[in-house]
Chain A
Amino acid sequence: MSQQRWQFYFLLTPFLLWIGLLIIWPHFNMLEVSLTERSWTQGDSFSFKHYLLFFQQSLYWNTYLRTAWMAILATFITLLISFPVAYYIAKVAKPRSKLALLMCCLLPFWLSELVRAYGWMILLRESGIISGLLQAIGLADAPIEMLYHDATIILGLVYSGMLFMVVPLVSSLDSMDNSYIEAGFDLGGNRWHIFWEIVFPYAMPGVVSGCIIVFMLNLGNYLIPNLMGGKDSLWFTEMVYTQFITRFNWELGSAFGILLLVLSSLLVWLALKLSGQSLSTTVGR
């Protein structure tokens, strides 16, 4: 009995060390820094100054809301594109081609995100392949710039998030018994009804866990908005980076970091509430 206990704590230690030293402690540290006002003459003091600044400058909370909205939009589009793909892999494809199809989704992720972003830039830029092709077949008279728009950011985010949506969807659709669908047809339902009443509710845990993962990745993405975004597009993570690295303002950067954490936690909680799921039925599966 006591040996079992000992084993339990022994096995738990790496986890506790990881979560304590690398997650909880740095976050408390960040919270502390964000509530400090630094002064060379009077020393450090406690202050809400940086949080107040966030609300006073419309620039900051505008970027905050814009980032959240675009991350949600990109997640939704990812879901729209991934669901048919996942359904095909899980239900329509033959077992042998299933693996090949999943590999096709996985392959681009063997490259780094930076290389994938540059790939898109080569395709979309004014002197790039797509623009050249459109001119060659006579659909455009002059070079078209497709890079540096908000839409390009969404495109990049959707592309980089696809895999993380497809895999949970496939795994939840895979376990569905085909006889449910047959029974639906037998009872006179059409395709639309069967999708909404049977398939989608069954896949709900996969949908929610996929959305949570993709949303988190989108919100925290730095590379794609930075490389593919235009002159008007500012992503909130870029602001955190700028405060830490180019402005040496760790206090404001920490406040932004905490606010980003609050935003993502809040939105995930809201998504779980609205979909009637819980963390244990989705991510914990």
Chain B
Amino acid sequence: MKHAKTLVALALSSSLVTAAASAETLRLLTWGGYAPDEVIALFEKETGIEVKVTTSNNEDMISKLRATGGAGFDLAQPSQDRITGAQQAFNIYQPIDLSKVEASQMIPSMLAATKANTELNGDVYGVPHVWGTSGLVVNTAQAKDVKDYTDLCSSAYEGKVSYRMKRPTLIGFAYAMGEDPFAAYSDPAKYQAILDKVEAKLIECKPVVKTYWTGGDALINLIRSEEVVAAMAWDAGGWKLNRDNADVKFVAPASGALGWIDTFAIPRKAKAVDAAYQWINFVMQPEIAAMITEAAGNFTASQGSDEFVNEVAKAQFQESFPPADLDNIKWYPAVPPGLEEMEGLALDRIQAAN
């Protein structure tokens, strides 16, 4: 009898404990590598909040949040250019309470740029976390003279180049062809004219492409096996390949690498909002941010975290970005709604063209 009572008490208390724990859960919708296990362990130790991670990408994040009207997650990490458009169309985020974010931990210029880019009706919807660029990954032993996006069309490399059928390809090629697509964002007619030009060029280039890569793993395989000698890719992917094969390098294209900043944004129906702010302030500490740089391969907007990053990553960064190339990075401005439909049609037409 006494035994049974203890058991009941035990069952009750354990269920209480689990109930308390589940109330303190942070559901994080993020990219692979942005929430490494060691960082989660440190955060759980310090705050007692359990972190559940769902890895995703920009489009998938918006789709997931759109399906629930902004419920199901407490913190999301969309790129800064993809916030205001999605917010206007689907109303999936809530404004950031800037008084709860420790701004002193962030690089001021990046915080200011992100605030300006994610502002809507006086409210700010995102603060910066990880930044990086997309440009060219080149096997310098076999394709020395690939300097810009349009060099991927050179018949010298027929069957040995690859890129994605996504919007960065359109924008990169537009810059390399002497256009300024970001300036035309607000003028649909002009943007369509640029898209038409790029579409024609990419259809012309089709015989040279080996395949349009669809996932990071597929691309890394193609370059590692040397089936592909030049590709359009992210800097972190290039640096990862560089550690295995010193010939493979990330090169900032002559017309400028395309720069992105992934942010923290809070979904409209988030439950653990305080936990979300705690996470933001926790991971922006320089030592923690350096751990994320190790895992994700990209640098963060955390002030002073460079000191804690390993020497290899620092050297790779400096080789890929001499000061002139760093200044030449084209940062993505916010995408106005409706633009992606135009791009989508162009991408489909390129893929289907023979």
Pairing of A with B: yes
Selected interface stretch from A15-23, A57-65, A191-199: A57-65
Q: Is residue B186 contacting chain A, with contact meaning CB distance below 8 A?
A: no
Q: Give Cα distance in the complex from A77 to B313, angstroms.
A: 52
Q: Is residue B352 contacting chain A, with contact meaning CB distance below 8 A?
A: yes
Contact assessment for B88 and A127 in the assembled complex, using a CB-CB cutoff below 8 Å: no
Contact assessment for B63 and A245 in the assembled complex, using a CB-CB cutoff below 8 Å: yes
Selected interface stretch from A4-12, A202-210, A224-232, A269-277: A224-232
Q: Is residue A159 contacting chain B, with contact meaning CB distance below 8 A?
A: no
Contact assessment for B59 and A148 in the assembled complex, using a CB-CB cutoff below 8 Å: no
B 116-136 to A, binary, CB cutoff 8 A, 1 in contact else 0: 000000000000000000000
Q: Give Cα distance in the complex from A148 to B341, angstroms.
A: 27
**Which bucket holds chain B's interface residue count?**
20 to 34
> Which of B66, B210, B345, B348 is within 8 Å of A234, CB to CB?
B348
> Which of A59, A125, A231, A243 is within 8 Å of B209, CB to CB?
A231
Q: Is residue B89 contacting chain A, with contact meaning CB distance below 8 A?
A: yes
A 121-153 to B, binary, CB cutoff 8 A, 1 in contact else 0: 000011100000000000000000101100000
Contact assessment for A249 and B210 in the assembled complex, using a CB-CB cutoff below 8 Å: no
Instruction: Tell me the chain B residues, 313-354 only, with Cβ under 8 Å from chain A.
Output: 337, 340-341, 344-345, 348-349, 351-354
Q: Look across to chain A and name the residue whose beta carbon is closest to the beta carbon of B59.
A: A246
Q: Give Cα distance in the complex from A59 to B337, angstroms.
A: 23
Q: Is residue B168 contacting chain A, with contact meaning CB distance below 8 A?
A: no
Q: Look across to chain B and name the residue whose beta carbon is closest to the beta carbon of A233.
A: B351
Question: What's the nearest-Cβ distance from chain A to residue B219, in Å?
Answer: 13
Question: What's the nearest-Cβ distance from chain A to residue B169, in Å?
Answer: 12
Q: Is residue A244 contacting chain B, with contact meaning CB distance below 8 A?
A: yes
Instruction: Tell me the chain B residues, 192-214 only, with Cβ under 8 Å from chain A.
Output: 206, 209-212, 214
Q: Is residue B159 contacting chain A, with contact meaning CB distance below 8 A?
A: yes
Question: What's the nearest-Cβ distance from chain A to residue B58, in Å?
Answer: 9
**Interfacial chain A residues near B307, Cβ < 8 Å:** none
Contact assessment for A247 and B341 in the assembled complex, using a CB-CB cutoff below 8 Å: yes
Contact assessment for A125 and B227 in the assembled complex, using a CB-CB cutoff below 8 Å: yes
> Given the known A-B contacts A231-B206, A246-B59, A249-B341, are A148 and B89 also in contact in the complex, defined by CB atoms under 8 Å?
no
Contact assessment for B349 and A59 in the assembled complex, using a CB-CB cutoff below 8 Å: yes
Q: Look across to chain B and name the residue whose beta carbon is closest to the beta carbon of A122.
A: B221
**Interfacial chain B residues near A246, Cβ < 8 Å:** 59, 166, 344
Q: Give Cα distance in the complex from A20 to B302, angstroms.
A: 52
Interface class of chain A by DSSP:
loop
Question: What's the nearest-Cβ distance from chain B to residue A32, in Å?
Answer: 16
Contact assessment for B89 and A40 in the assembled complex, using a CB-CB cutoff below 8 Å: yes
B 138-152 to A, binary, CB cutoff 8 A, 1 in contact else 0: 000000000000000
Q: Give Cα distance in the complex from A172 to B30, angstroms.
A: 51
Q: Is residue B187 contacting chain A, with contact meaning CB distance below 8 A?
A: no
Q: Is residue A242 contacting chain B, with contact meaning CB distance below 8 A?
A: yes
Contact assessment for A148 and B210 in the assembled complex, using a CB-CB cutoff below 8 Å: yes
Q: Give Cα distance in the complex from A245 to B57, angstroms.
A: 10
Q: Look across to chain A and name the residue whose beta carbon is closest to the beta carbon of B89.
A: A40
B 144-176 to A, binary, CB cutoff 8 A, 1 in contact else 0: 000000000000000100000010000000000
Contact assessment for A232 and B354 in the assembled complex, using a CB-CB cutoff below 8 Å: yes
Q: Look across to chain A and name the residue whose beta carbon is closest to the beta carbon of B214.
A: A226
Contact assessment for B63 and A234 in the assembled complex, using a CB-CB cutoff below 8 Å: no
> Given the known A-B contacts A127-B226, A242-B344, are A248 and B211 also in contact in the complex, defined by CB atoms under 8 Å?
no
Q: Give Cα distance in the complex from A173 to B159, angstroms.
A: 48
**Interfacial chain A residues near B90, Cβ < 8 Å:** 248
Q: Look across to chain B and name the residue whose beta carbon is closest to the beta carbon of A38.
A: B89
**Interfacial chain B residues near A148, Cβ < 8 Å:** 210-211
Q: Is residue B60 contacting chain A, with contact meaning CB distance below 8 A?
A: yes
Q: Give Cα distance in the complex from A227 to B337, angstroms.
A: 31
Question: What's the nearest-Cβ distance from chain A to residue B263, in Å?
Answer: 19
Contact assessment for B340 and A247 in the assembled complex, using a CB-CB cutoff below 8 Å: yes
A 48-63 to B, binary, CB cutoff 8 A, 1 in contact else 0: 0000000001010011
Contact assessment for A248 and B340 in the assembled complex, using a CB-CB cutoff below 8 Å: yes
Contact assessment for A234 and B352 in the assembled complex, using a CB-CB cutoff below 8 Å: yes
Q: Look across to chain A and name the residue whose beta carbon is closest to the beta carbon of B167.
A: A246
Contact assessment for B227 and A127 in the assembled complex, using a CB-CB cutoff below 8 Å: yes
**Interfacial chain A residues near B226, Cβ < 8 Å:** 127
Q: Look across to chain A and name the residue whose beta carbon is closest to the beta carbon of B212.
A: A231
Q: Give Cα distance in the complex from A57 to B345, angstroms.
A: 9
**Interfacial chain A residues near B218, Cβ < 8 Å:** 227
Question: What's the nearest-Cβ distance from chain B to residue A62, in Å?
Answer: 7
Contact assessment for A248 and B62 in the assembled complex, using a CB-CB cutoff below 8 Å: yes
**Interfacial chain B residues near A231, Cβ < 8 Å:** 206, 209-212, 351
Q: Is residue B6 contacting chain A, with contact meaning CB distance below 8 A?
A: no
Q: Is residue A239 contacting chain B, with contact meaning CB distance below 8 A?
A: yes
**Interfacial chain B residues near A247, Cβ < 8 Å:** 59, 340-341, 344
Question: What's the nearest-Cβ distance from chain B to residue A261, in Å?
Answer: 21
A-B contact pairs, 6 of them (CB 8 A): A57-B345, A230-B211, A231-B209, A231-B210, A232-B206, A248-B59
Closest 7 CB pairs of A and B: A246-B59, A127-B225, A247-B344, A148-B211, A59-B352, A126-B227, A245-B63
- A residues near B (Cβ < 8 Å) are 40, 57, 59, 62-63, 125-127, 145, 147-148, 226-227, 230-232, 234, 239, 242-249
- B residues near A (Cβ < 8 Å) are 59-60, 62-63, 66, 86, 88-90, 159, 166, 206, 209-212, 214, 218, 225-227, 337, 340-341, 344-345, 348-349, 351-354
Given A62-B352, A63-B352, A248-B63, 15 new contacts (CB under 8 A): A40-B88, A125-B225, A126-B225, A148-B211, A230-B211, A231-B209, A232-B352, A234-B348, A242-B344, A245-B59, A246-B166, A246-B344, A247-B341, A248-B86, A248-B340
